Chain A
Amino acid sequence: MEALEVVGKSVARVDGKDKVTGRATYGYDLVLPNMVYGKVLFSTRPHAKIHLLNVEKARNHPGVLCVVTGEDAPWTWGEAVKDTPFLANGKVRYVGEPIAAVAALDEDTAQAAVGLIEVEYEDLPAYLDAEEACAPGAFPIHEDYPNYRKEQFVNPHTSWPNICEHFKLRTGNVTQGFKESDLVLEERYRVPKIGHAAMEPHSAHAQVDPASGRVTVWVANDAPFRALHILSEALGLPQEQIRLINPFQGGGFGSKGGLKVEPIAIALAYRTNGRPVRVKFNRPETFSSTITRHGATVTIKSGVRNDGTLMARQVTIYWGAGAYAEKSPTVCIRGSLPSPGPYRIPHVQVDGYAVYTNEAVAGAFRGYGIPQTAWACEQHTDELAKRLGIDPLEFRLKNIFVDGDLTYWGEKLQNVGLKETLLKATEGIGWGKASNGSFKRKGVKIGRGFACILKPTRTPTTSTALVTIDASGVATIMAGTVEIGQGCSTILSQIAAEELRIPFEMVRMHPLDTDVIPVDASTTSSRSTYHMGNAVRLAAIDAREKIAKMAAAALGSSDDNLKFSNGNVLLKAGPPGVVSIAKLILDNLGTEGKVCGKGSYTFELGKDLNSNDGHSEHASAFYMYATQAAEVAVDEETGRVRLMRVVAAHDVGKAINPASCVGQIEGGLVMGIGAALHEELIVDRKGKIRNPSFLDYHLLTSLDVPEMTCIIVECPEPLGPYGAKGLGEPGLAPTPAAIGNAVANALGTRIYDLPLTIERVYWAIQSMKKKSPQVQLTGAS
């Protein structure tokens, strides 16, 4: 095999210049000719019947084109459960739910008209806690749940109220396993709801052509083909009657899939006589009325032998789904599946419950459930080691997955880079060595900790791509992967340039438009480098083979005597001969001619999880492994946790672009540290989010970011392009648990609830000192 030329190199991002110079047009920036402006009336009640909805005054307000309510937009959508109305129809289920929308000639007029809409509510019992919502006798949030249409994989719990998914994993017999253990420990951990806080808030532009009825939506959606499918299903339109165009996306982290602002824009666009409608959410609306990450309560019980052998583990998770199912069933399934952690355990039982509540809808969030369960599992694992008097590193080395292990869900693992990440991250933080003591102050305790994870990817899925080369030698990739900021355009361009052996600068990405781009499952689940990378690679090879045939004829040689290099085709042996790819295309296909290569990739071994026991021989196309380690300085007088250093080791299979990998890891760390120390959506007793702005929802500033060391581990995946796996999500998954373990190491006491705010840590220290339960700390039982 020839040496790689551009794959594996840290080439500069192809979208970098446009973004830093402000030329890139994001969804939020879009201006369409003749467009009108939509504004929304949101519910102020967590759970209520709409007694009266009077829009007459708004309709008659000068400058208003139309007002729409649930009656005017009688459509329902859902990815797993078809439970979500475009606009509330007769009932609201959370504060922030869209009830009605106005389109007007300008934004202020639309907002003024929204203020003229009269609503009367009849309050219903509201649930802001998942466990209360599924307790016996709880009032149903969706009375019609049994009758909703659902995807096949949805497994509702029939006897409990408000459960929209119950995931079960059964391996061995945990009761037996606990009996055979020397130590059994049960703990309960909690993770709050948090916001995605993408730099660009949500927006959608929609237009309905009055003549053809064709719907066009301009939206930064991370899965335009899935959105197309959902819309077609909801509106009862054939897919060719709907078109999605993706402008640049200013981040998403899972918040921009499915439908968010799209239904509102479409509902209005049906009544503006062909004029496009813009609906933009501001920051508070984005926090309250799009989606959040699932809050979760995780009860974890383990049995271990004195020698550190894990015998049994039982995990019960309540996922707060919010008012609508959205992606909750799959977050529950794929987040609960590996919740016992990357360990060999003979007896395992997992019950994951996604529970409807009267809170903002929870959905996909970078990591898809793994960060929540890792917070519990990895701290719990440290606690077990501590109680056994075994070093946590040694404890993990004894129990972690290695090549050839059979997982508790019945899959035989190969190409497991976990051990290497564990060794490198702990070495990087100086595990077992004395601290440098870079932060010395009286009352400041230094601690270290680490955590490791395994993350599956959505399986099975398909990616399809075209690679065309024109008569000037420029290659264009047509791929449905969305540039959400993760750097896919650069990675895919590198792969095409590699296979065609043309200069990297000669590769272009075609803008994403569902009318012309071949189908791709989604830009989610860290799946793109592997799946779309494979598809683009196959498409480039297909194109290369077509060019090779032309070159063979032109140079009078056989196919196997050709070598591609720097945009040319050369003869390997015999008399010298060379011809450029551009000339071949020009001579064979004319000035407008193009060679078109096609590629498609599906992980064909992939099998759905068995709904009875949660087992699958191939639950994921590949697995991502990571270990992160942290050193903290905890100020005992104030409760402040100051992060001194973080070391993150990630198994990426093969780094297509190492700089891009480091960028992903660093970005993940910053998000993970935020979730560990600051982030929480605070919901009051009336279901309203109290901190829906960056004033009181704290993201890290550059001054809050510690020294970060990113270590790339390459344990190749044979089916991945050049051995690549995925990387997008794991960056933040083990971070809070690593910090939690470091804090416990520093203080000698463990904190079970996120985030580790200054105040929570302060009271934990006080209660440890006084040994009185002054603060709500769900402790070990």
Chain B
Amino acid sequence: MKRPEPFEIYRPTSIREALQIRQTKGAGGYFQAGGTDLVIAVKEKGLVPKYVVDLKKISPLRVIREESDGSLRIGALVTMRELETSTLIRNRYPFLAQSAAEVGSVQIRNRATVGGNVANATPSADVAPALLVLDAEARISGLHGERSVPLAEFFVGPSKTVMMQSELLTEIVIPATHGVRGEYIKFSPREMMDLAYVGVAVALVFESNDKTCSRARIALGAVSPTPIRARKAEAILHNRVLTEELAELAGNEAATECSPISDVRSSAEYRREMVRVNTKRALLNVAAHITEPLRWIERRDRKY
């Protein structure tokens, strides 16, 4: 591991100040949140930043709050551990908390942030599929104002997003939805401390207890250049009763919608098969608990 070349580091206390520094200093700078990706890039992958803008002192970005309309706002600096342990999140969307709990170790989750995970746009980012199925939006700030981008349009390619150099991801907004039940399956060979070989998130709204899906969202991680929605698979479920056969059809469809690669971890063919199997499983896991209250399930009891 190499000691980094000296660089300037700024610690602004407001979003505006952070953006101004970025504008003044120009190219070659990086925003830093938890640093769990950036520090490795500097020490092990030869990244040489000209300067770094450390965002950790911008305290408004560290909050999860519920708006009066029922939507949730997750500040970009909320750590994975905070997302995982938040009572609000665990009660409303336990599968989102569980997706955060899949990241690295507790030590890593104490530093890694939701904003960092999303803005870095790694195809295998664990919270991205869970946020995608919740129709989350990214709030982006620039010196000339703010904008909102649906997360489904936010990712452009590996490590590429719609954000400009001069912009900062400030919040993730989850619109109010009633009766959402979801599941995130991180499929990897090891139970913990691994990268997703395949990540599958589903979020369903049932009309009543008869398992008819009035709303279905499926998102996939690690099997395309970006985390993606599997819209054709979603369409199969729409206004249909979620049976095993239907889940299987949706799984087959999702497997055709992704474009996985072969690498040292696994072959593209296997990844595609696992999208098929795990999409089906995620759907059936949701359907199996339809009459139970939403609850957090410990990792050791969630064996995929």
Docked-complex contact B192 and A703, CB < 8 angstroms? yes
Q: Which residues of A contact B2 (CB under 8 A)?
A: 108, 111
Looking at the assembled complex, report how far the CB atom of B39 sits from the nearest CB atom of chain A, in whole angstroms.
Answer: 15
With contacts A111-B2, A703-B192, A703-B300 taken as known, whether A638 is within 8 angstroms of B265 at the C-beta atoms is no
Looking at the assembled complex, report how far the CB atom of B217 sits from the nearest CB atom of chain A, in whole angstroms.
Answer: 23
A558 located at the interface, meaning its Cβ lies under 8 Å from any Cβ of chain B in the complex = no
- Of all chain B residues, which has the CB nearest A107? B3
- Of all chain A residues, which has the CB nearest B270? A759
- List CB contacts (< 8 Å) of A662-700 with chain B: 677-678, 682, 690-691, 695-696, 698, 700
- List CB contacts (< 8 Å) of A372-410 with chain B: none
Docked-complex contact B265 and A696, CB < 8 angstroms? yes
With contacts A690-B264, A691-B264, A759-B266 taken as known, whether A637 is within 8 angstroms of B277 at the C-beta atoms is yes
A612 located at the interface, meaning its Cβ lies under 8 Å from any Cβ of chain B in the complex = no
Docked-complex contact B264 and A696, CB < 8 angstroms? yes
Q: Which residues of A contact B303 (CB under 8 A)?
A: 642
Docked-complex contact B189 and A678, CB < 8 angstroms? yes
A704 located at the interface, meaning its Cβ lies under 8 Å from any Cβ of chain B in the complex = yes
Docked-complex contact B191 and A701, CB < 8 angstroms? yes
Q: Which residues of B contact A763 (CB under 8 A)?
A: 270
A778 located at the interface, meaning its Cβ lies under 8 Å from any Cβ of chain B in the complex = no
Docked-complex contact B191 and A638, CB < 8 angstroms? no
Please pick, from B3, B187, B264, the residue contacting A638 in the complex, using a CB distance under 8 A: B187
B1 located at the interface, meaning its Cβ lies under 8 Å from any Cβ of chain A in the complex = yes
A757 located at the interface, meaning its Cβ lies under 8 Å from any Cβ of chain B in the complex = yes
In the assembled complex, the Cα of A455 lies from the Cα of B301 at a distance in Å of 38
Docked-complex contact B191 and A703, CB < 8 angstroms? yes
Please pick, from B187, B195, B299, B300, the residue contacting A695 in the complex, using a CB distance under 8 A: B195
In the assembled complex, the Cα of A757 lies from the Cα of B265 at a distance in Å of 10
B193 located at the interface, meaning its Cβ lies under 8 Å from any Cβ of chain A in the complex = yes
In the assembled complex, the Cα of A696 lies from the Cα of B273 at a distance in Å of 21
In the assembled complex, the Cα of A635 lies from the Cα of B270 at a distance in Å of 14
- List CB contacts (< 8 Å) of B1-26 with chain A: 1-3
In the assembled complex, the Cα of A468 lies from the Cα of B252 at a distance in Å of 74
- Of all chain B residues, which has the CB nearest A694? B193
Please pick, from B3, B189, B195, B300, the residue contacting A758 in the complex, using a CB distance under 8 A: B189
- Of all chain A residues, which has the CB nearest B303? A642
Please pick, from B191, B264, B265, B304, the residue contacting A704 in the complex, using a CB distance under 8 A: B191
In the assembled complex, the Cα of A690 lies from the Cα of B195 at a distance in Å of 16
Looking at the assembled complex, report how far the CB atom of A691 sits from the nearest CB atom of chain B, in whole angstroms.
Answer: 5
Looking at the assembled complex, report how far the CB atom of B300 sits from the nearest CB atom of chain A, in whole angstroms.
Answer: 6
In the assembled complex, the Cα of A632 lies from the Cα of B180 at a distance in Å of 36
Q: Which residues of A contact B277 (CB under 8 A)?
A: 637-638
**Main SS of the interface on chain B?**
loop
In the assembled complex, the Cα of A762 lies from the Cα of B300 at a distance in Å of 23
Docked-complex contact B190 and A108, CB < 8 angstroms? no
- List CB contacts (< 8 Å) of A616-647 with chain B: 637-638, 640, 642
Q: Which residues of B contact A108 (CB under 8 A)?
A: 2-3
In the assembled complex, the Cα of A757 lies from the Cα of B299 at a distance in Å of 21
A54 located at the interface, meaning its Cβ lies under 8 Å from any Cβ of chain B in the complex = no
Looking at the assembled complex, report how far the CB atom of B70 sits from the nearest CB atom of chain A, in whole angstroms.
Answer: 35
Looking at the assembled complex, report how far the CB atom of A647 sits from the nearest CB atom of chain B, in whole angstroms.
Answer: 21
- List CB contacts (< 8 Å) of A713-770 with chain B: 757-759, 762-763
B91 located at the interface, meaning its Cβ lies under 8 Å from any Cβ of chain A in the complex = no
B250 located at the interface, meaning its Cβ lies under 8 Å from any Cβ of chain A in the complex = no
B274 located at the interface, meaning its Cβ lies under 8 Å from any Cβ of chain A in the complex = yes
A273 located at the interface, meaning its Cβ lies under 8 Å from any Cβ of chain B in the complex = no
B37 located at the interface, meaning its Cβ lies under 8 Å from any Cβ of chain A in the complex = no
Docked-complex contact B191 and A759, CB < 8 angstroms? no
Docked-complex contact B190 and A700, CB < 8 angstroms? yes
In the assembled complex, the Cα of A640 lies from the Cα of B273 at a distance in Å of 13
Q: Which residues of A contact B304 (CB under 8 A)?
A: 638, 640
Please pick, from A282, A682, A704, the residue contacting B190 in the complex, using a CB distance under 8 A: A704
Render B278-304 as a binary contact track against A, CB cut-off 8 A, 1 for contact: 100100000000000000000110011
In the assembled complex, the Cα of A696 lies from the Cα of B192 at a distance in Å of 13
B207 located at the interface, meaning its Cβ lies under 8 Å from any Cβ of chain A in the complex = no
Docked-complex contact B193 and A701, CB < 8 angstroms? yes
With contacts A108-B2, A682-B264, A696-B265 taken as known, whether A638 is within 8 angstroms of B190 at the C-beta atoms is no
B194 located at the interface, meaning its Cβ lies under 8 Å from any Cβ of chain A in the complex = yes
Docked-complex contact A698 and B190, CB < 8 angstroms? yes
Q: Which residues of A contact B273 (CB under 8 A)?
A: 762
With contacts A111-B2, A762-B270 taken as known, whether A757 is within 8 angstroms of B189 at the C-beta atoms is yes
Render A265-286 as a binary contact track against B, CB cut-off 8 A, 1 for contact: 0000000000000000010000
Docked-complex contact A698 and B194, CB < 8 angstroms? yes
- List CB contacts (< 8 Å) of B239-287 with chain A: 264-267, 270, 273-274, 277-278, 281
In the assembled complex, the Cα of A757 lies from the Cα of B274 at a distance in Å of 14
Q: Which residues of A contact B193 (CB under 8 A)?
A: 701
- List CB contacts (< 8 Å) of B189-242 with chain A: 189-195
Looking at the assembled complex, report how far the CB atom of A106 sits from the nearest CB atom of chain B, in whole angstroms.
Answer: 9
Looking at the assembled complex, report how far the CB atom of A21 sits from the nearest CB atom of chain B, in whole angstroms.
Answer: 19
Q: Which residues of B contact A642 (CB under 8 A)?
A: 303
Docked-complex contact B192 and A701, CB < 8 angstroms? yes
- Of all chain A residues, which has the CB nearest B264? A690
Q: Which residues of B contact A758 (CB under 8 A)?
A: 189, 270
In the assembled complex, the Cα of A371 lies from the Cα of B225 at a distance in Å of 40
- List CB contacts (< 8 Å) of A255-310 with chain B: 282
In the assembled complex, the Cα of A717 lies from the Cα of B228 at a distance in Å of 64
- List CB contacts (< 8 Å) of A102-118 with chain B: 107-108, 111
Q: Which residues of B contact A111 (CB under 8 A)?
A: 2
Looking at the assembled complex, report how far the CB atom of A698 sits from the nearest CB atom of chain B, in whole angstroms.
Answer: 5
Looking at the assembled complex, report how far the CB atom of B285 sits from the nearest CB atom of chain A, in whole angstroms.
Answer: 11
- Of all chain B residues, which has the CB nearest A108? B3
Looking at the assembled complex, report how far the CB atom of A85 sits from the nearest CB atom of chain B, in whole angstroms.
Answer: 28
In the assembled complex, the Cα of A695 lies from the Cα of B194 at a distance in Å of 7
In the assembled complex, the Cα of A690 lies from the Cα of B266 at a distance in Å of 13
Q: Which residues of A contact B266 (CB under 8 A)?
A: 759
Docked-complex contact B274 and A701, CB < 8 angstroms? no
Q: Which residues of B contact A682 (CB under 8 A)?
A: 264
In the assembled complex, the Cα of A677 lies from the Cα of B264 at a distance in Å of 16
Q: Which residues of B contact A678 (CB under 8 A)?
A: 189-190
In the assembled complex, the Cα of A282 lies from the Cα of B2 at a distance in Å of 11
Looking at the assembled complex, report how far the CB atom of B220 sits from the nearest CB atom of chain A, in whole angstroms.
Answer: 16
Docked-complex contact B274 and A638, CB < 8 angstroms? yes
In the assembled complex, the Cα of A695 lies from the Cα of B277 at a distance in Å of 25
Looking at the assembled complex, report how far the CB atom of B184 sits from the nearest CB atom of chain A, in whole angstroms.
Answer: 16
Docked-complex contact A701 and B265, CB < 8 angstroms? no
Q: Which residues of B contact A282 (CB under 8 A)?
A: 1
Docked-complex contact A703 and B299, CB < 8 angstroms? yes
Q: Which residues of A contact B1 (CB under 8 A)?
A: 282
Looking at the assembled complex, report how far the CB atom of B33 sits from the nearest CB atom of chain A, in whole angstroms.
Answer: 21
- Of all chain B residues, which has the CB nearest A702? B192
Q: Which residues of B contact A704 (CB under 8 A)?
A: 190-192
In the assembled complex, the Cα of A111 lies from the Cα of B43 at a distance in Å of 13
Q: Which residues of A contact B187 (CB under 8 A)?
A: 638
Looking at the assembled complex, report how far the CB atom of A282 sits from the nearest CB atom of chain B, in whole angstroms.
Answer: 6
In the assembled complex, the Cα of A32 lies from the Cα of B254 at a distance in Å of 59
In the assembled complex, the Cα of A587 lies from the Cα of B275 at a distance in Å of 81
Q: Which residues of B contact A695 (CB under 8 A)?
A: 195
Q: Which residues of B contact A757 (CB under 8 A)?
A: 189
Q: Which residues of A contact B265 (CB under 8 A)?
A: 696
Q: Which residues of A contact B192 (CB under 8 A)?
A: 701-704
In the assembled complex, the Cα of A638 lies from the Cα of B187 at a distance in Å of 10
Q: Which residues of B contact A698 (CB under 8 A)?
A: 189-190, 194
Docked-complex contact A701 and B264, CB < 8 angstroms? no
Q: Which residues of B contact A691 (CB under 8 A)?
A: 264
- Of all chain A residues, which has the CB nearest B3? A108
Q: Which residues of A contact B281 (CB under 8 A)?
A: 637
Docked-complex contact B190 and A759, CB < 8 angstroms? no
| 6 shortest interchain CB distances as A-B pairs | A703-B191, A690-B264, A759-B270, A701-B192, A703-B192, A637-B277
6 A/B residue pairs, CB under 8 Å, sorted by A: A638-B187, A696-B265, A698-B189, A704-B192, A758-B189, A763-B270
For the complex with contacts A637-B281, A759-B267, 10 further pairs of A-B residues with Cβ separation under 8 Å are: A637-B277, A638-B274, A638-B277, A640-B189, A696-B265, A701-B190, A702-B192, A758-B189, A759-B266, A763-B270
